[in-house]
Amino acid sequence: MEARRELHGQRALGVCAPGFLRRRAEHRLWNATAVFDAMDGKNVWMYSAMLSGLVLHRDGQKALHVFDAKVREGHAPDGLLEDGLRCFDRMRLEHKVTPNA
């Protein structure tokens, strides 16, 4: 009976852990976003770090807002933007794949 409870406890932990970890990551991202939004004098490195975190956690809408703010504040995109756009065009035109990133 004790072994059964232990097995059930491990199974429940295995099922609950991904949801718990996801909520924790979302909470940390929310905290990081709040700190970022409150900062004055953001530089290109700060923007890059925030954009990376948002993209990693699939918050595309917020990433687009942060990117627009970056450009508005005078931090021009680098050449990688053009490379990325070229890749999207190739996916669409040569391979008939619609990018959804």
Q: Is residue 75 part of a domain?
A: yes
Dump pLDDT digits (tens) for 6-44: 444 444 444 555 666 667 777 788 888 999 999 999 999
- State the Cα angle at 76 between 100 and 87, rounded to 5°: 30
Q: What is the residue-averaged pLDDT of the chain?
A: 81
Q: Is residue 57 part of a domain?
A: yes
Dump pLDDT digits (tens) for 36-76: 999 999 999 999 999 999 988 888 899 999 999 999 999 98
The pLDDT value recorded for residue 18 is: 60
Q: Is residue 100 part of a domain?
A: no
For residue 71, the enclosing domain spans 2-93
pTM of the model: 0.62
Lowest mean pLDDT segment, chosen from 2-6, 22-26, 77-81, 97-101: 2-6
Domain count, the chain: 1
Q: Is residue 98 part of a domain?
A: no
Q: Is residue 51 part of a domain?
A: yes
What number of CA atoms fall less than 13 Å from residue 57's CA on the CB side? Answer: 21
